[in-house]
Structure 1
Amino acid sequence: MIEKITSVKNSLILKALEYKTKKSQLEDKKYLIEGLNIVNEAIKNNVVDKIFVTKKFVNTFQNIDVIEISDNVAQKLSDLKNSQEVFAICNIVKKDFLDSNVLILDDVQDPGNLGTLIRSAFAFGFNNIICSESTVFLFNSKVLRAIQGNHFDLNIEYCDLEKRIVELKNEGYTIISTNLKEKNSIFDFESHDKIALILGNEGNGVSERVQKLAQKNVILKTSEKIDSLNVAIAGSIIMHDIFNVK
C-alpha cells in the first residue's frame, strides 16, 4: 500500500526540506531534486533514497516504491511557482577521478553560470570539475535545475585549488588559465592530451594565487566593441575549442 502524506509538517517532509540546505546536504550526504527527468536520471544512477509524487504520477515508476503527497505538500517542497510534482531525496555519491580533461572553477558565484558550465563540460569532454570551496554549491536547487542530471556522469570536487592544481601538474596536466592581460587565443596552443582549464569569478576573474600556477594563459579574441564575455559563455567557447582542437 502506498504511503500518503498530506501535511507539510510531516517529519519526512521537514527532513526533505532540510536537504535543500548546504548544511544538511554536507552533514547527511543527501539532497533534494525536483522534476521527472532528473528523478529518472537519479534512478538510472542508483542514488535515490525516497521518491515523492502527487497522485498524477503515482503509477509513473514501475517496481519502485513512491510516497504520494498532496498538492500543497508538493508546492512546499518546490522552489517553483508551479510544482513539478515529482521529487526525490538522493544520496551524494563521490565519483572517482576520470581519465579526461579538467575544468577548474575559482570562486564562480552564480548558480546559472555553474549550471551552464557543467552542461558544457559534459558536452565537451571535461568530465572532471574541480571547484574552490567558495564556488556556489553543486546541490543548490538552481544549479540542479539547470544541469538536469548531467552531474551524475561527472566527477565534481570541492577542495583547496592550489594544492589540487599542483597535483594535476604532477599527473601530467597542462594548466591553462583565462587571463585578460594575455593576447593568445586557444588555437595558439598545441593540442595536449591532458588539459586543465581554469575559469574565475564573474567580477574579478581568476585570483592571483591561482593564476600564478597556470602554465599557459588564454583569452578569447572578440570584437573591439565588447570588453568581455560572461564566464559561462567564455568558458563554454574555450571548452568547445579545446574539444575540437583535440
Structure 2
Amino acid sequence: MSDPLEILLTNDDGIHSTGIRALHDALAEHANVTVVAPATDQSACGRSMSHEVDVEERELGYAVYGTPADCVVAGLAELGPDPDIVVAGCNKGANLGEYVLGRSGTISAAVEAAFFDVPAIATSMYVPVSDTPLSEIDLSHEEYAEATRVTSYLVDNALEAGVFDHAGYLNINVPVADGDPAPIEITRPSKRYEMDAERNGTRIHMRDRIWEQMDPETLPDADGTDRRAVVEGRISVSPLTAPHSTNHHDALSALAEAYLETGNVTDRQSVDI
C-alpha cells in the first residue's frame, strides 16, 4: 500500500471557518493534512504578502496572523512536511471570472503554491445571491458536502492522472449541496467585468454589478464559462496556469527596437512603425 498523500490545507476565511473544517474532515479520512490558515478573515486580500507574521498552534492546526499567501509560504518552507498538493478552501462564496484571479485570497493561495511547483486546488462554494449579505449567511457543515466530495475526488485522482502536467492549479466552484452529486464541467473563467463606483460625500462605494446578473434564465455569460456552469447547477473546474502566460506582440517589439533610434529618448516623440 502506498503512503497517504500529504496535503497542506489553507483558506482565506480564517482557520475557524466552517468551510475549512469541512474540507479538513473529509481529506483527513485518507490523507495526512497539515492546516496552515489565517487567524482572521482575509477575504479578497489577493496575493498580499507580509514580511513577518506571528503563528499560534490551534486545535485544527497553525493559525498565521497574515494572508493566505503568507500561510502557503510558511507552510511549504517551515511549518509542514513537503506536501503532494496544496488545497485552499472551502471559501464561502464563489470565485468566478478572470477578474477575481488576482483578487481572491483563496485562489491566491493556490497561485502561491504553483510558484513553488506544488500542484494546488482552490475550492469555493457558490451561494445564490439574496438580500442577505454573504457575511451574515451561516452555512452548515453538511452544506459543504458537494465541495468536500469533488475536492476529495480530484485530490485522490488528479495527480496520478497527470492533470498538473498541464495546469498549475485548479479553480473549483461548487453549487450548494442539495442531495445528489452535481456533474463536473471543465470551464474557462468568464471575461465579464462590471465594477463601478459611486461617491457619497467623502466616501466612495465600489459595486460589483456582476453579482446582480446571476439569474439562470437571463445570465449573459456564454456556454463553457465558470459562471454559467455554477449557476446552472454544475461544478465548474477551470485548469489554470501560474505564472500567467504572455503574448509576443509585433507592434510592441517594433517600439522597443526604435527606442534608442529616437534621439533624446526622454522627449515624447512619435515613432513611425
| TM-score normalised per structure 2 | 0.29
Q: Which is richer in helix?
A: 1
| TM-score normalised per structure 1 | 0.32
Higher relative contact order (CA 8 A, sep 6+): 1
